């Protein structure tokens, strides 16, 4: 049974974005990690921390911690951002840092932000924790367990108060992850992924609105994956919503947005694949804060 579950996991991970990069249910609140053009677009010094525990109860399941900060640069059209990610999947540990730069142009249809980032990723493979059936297996390269992978990303982001559209390529270089020792080689190519995102806010009444959003992820050797989300917003404070991730899960999301710029969110994923038999769902917690928000005499909500 364990072997069957392991094989199912590999197949699902291969067809669903390969798990080369973490996935986020609250993607609409965590755009900087996939699109550098988002840096500085909240018109405040913005900080966010997100923790995700995917497939809880499944041994070796992904666990991801993300921290990011970004801000516009005063008296310029530029923005800067920094994001840090720690991701673990089985015996693999990933540590990455991205420094993002954006330049914004105001147009009749909204503000266009162009962004690039430089990044470094450290990959550790804990081969000694692989617990092989046969000790000293020649197919396991115990000697080399760390790689340093530099990369670059680019993106574009168009936004106004009531909508946004973005396109990005988080990794332009297809690095080869090669762990070798003598005649043994374990390698994997970091495939180039393409992201498209969009969202819009529809005010239904003075105290209620709907905000649908979509995130599309594409890689040449995998099917298109979509996160389809809709959030109901009450009094610009309480956000309740659902997401459908194609061929993967249905998700429930709740967020609270405070007048002082703080926001707290929680998401739970209901797995709809065969992995549902071996896990109790996925959990995601988010805390964000916008510092030095512009004072306009009244609370000015930010939907994006």
For the ranges 60-74, 167-181, 285-299, the one whose mean pLDDT is highest:
60-74
Question: What's the token pair of residue 190?
Answer: 């970091």
Four-point Cα dihedral 76, 296, 70, 211, nearest 10? -120
For residues 33 and 5, the answer to whether their CB atoms sit within 8 Å is: no
At residue 165, does pLDDT exceed 50?
yes
Degrees to nearest 5, angle at CA 79 with 167 and 301: 80
SS3 203: strand
pLDDT digits over 6-48, tens only?
434 443 444 334 446 788 999 999 999 999 999 999 999 999 9
Q: What mean pLDDT do residues 249-271 have?
A: 95
Q: Does domain 2-291 have CATH number 3.30.43.10?
A: no
Q: Is the pLDDT of residue 182 over 50?
A: no
Interacting residues of 155 by C-beta distance below 8 A, sequence separation 6+: 34, 35, 36, 37, 38, 114, 115, 116, 166, 167, 168, 169, 170, 195
Q: Model's pTM, two decimal places?
A: 0.86
Give the residue from 39, 37, 34 showing the smallest Cα distance to 17: 34
φ and ψ at residue 248, rounded to 5 degrees: -140, -55
Mean pLDDT of the chain: 85
pLDDT at res. 190: 77
Q: What is the pLDDT of residue 135?
A: 61
The residue-averaged pLDDT of 226-240 equals: 97
pLDDT value at position 22?
81
Sort 298 into a burial class: Cβ within 10 Å, 0-12 / 13-18 / 19+.
exposed
pLDDT score of 152 more than 80: yes
pLDDT of residue 270 exceeding 60, the answer is: yes
- pLDDT number for residue 294: 53
- Calculate mean pLDDT across residues 178-197: 69
Taking the domains of the chain in order of start, what are their residue ranges?
Answer: 2-291
At residue 131 the predicted structure's pLDDT band, cuts being 50, 70 and 90, is low
Altogether, the residues listed in the chain come to a count of: 304
Q: DSSP letters along 111-155, please?
A: EEEEEEEEEEEEEEE-GGGS--SSTT-TTS--S--EEEEEEEEEE
Average pLDDT over residues 86-100: 92
């Amino acid at each position: 049974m364990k072997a069957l579950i392991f094989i199912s996991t590999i197949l699902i991970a291969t067809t669903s974005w390969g798990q080369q990069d973490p996935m986020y249910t609250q993607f609409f609140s965590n755009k900087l990690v996939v699109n550098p053009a988002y840096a500085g677009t909240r018109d405040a010094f913005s900080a966010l921390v997100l923790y995700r525990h995917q497939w809880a109860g499944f041994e070796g399941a992904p666990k991801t911690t993300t921290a990011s900060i970004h801000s516009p640069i005063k008296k310029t059209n530029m923005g800067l951002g920094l994001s840090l990610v720690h991701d673990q999947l089985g015996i693999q540990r990933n540590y990455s840092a991205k420094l993002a730069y954006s330049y914004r142009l105001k147009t009749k249809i909204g503000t266009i932000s162009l962004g690039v980032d430089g990044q470094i990723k450290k990959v550790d493979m804990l081969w000694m924790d692989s617990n092989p059936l046969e000790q000293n297996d020649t197919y396991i390269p115990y000697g080399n367990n760390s790689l340093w992978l530099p990369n670059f990303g680019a993106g574009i982001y168009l936004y106004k108060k009531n909508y946004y559209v973005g396109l990005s390529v988080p990794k332009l270089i297809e690095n080869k992850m090669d762990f070798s020792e003598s005649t043994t080689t374990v390698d994997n190519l970091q495939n180039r992924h393409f992201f498209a995102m969009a969202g819009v806010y529809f005010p239904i009444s003075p105290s209620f609105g709907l905000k649908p959003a979509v995130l599309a992820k594409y890689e040449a050797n995998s099917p298109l994956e979509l996160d389809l989300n809709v959030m109901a917003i009450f009094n610009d404070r309480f956000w309740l919503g659902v997401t459908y991730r194609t061929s993967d899960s249905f998700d429930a999301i709740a967020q609270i947005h405070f007048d002082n710029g703080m926001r707290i969110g929680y998401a739970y994923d209901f797995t709809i694949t065969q992995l549902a038999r071996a896990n109790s769902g996925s959990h995601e917690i988010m805390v964000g804060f916008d510092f030095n928000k512009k004072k306009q005499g009244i609370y000015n909500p930010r939907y994006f």
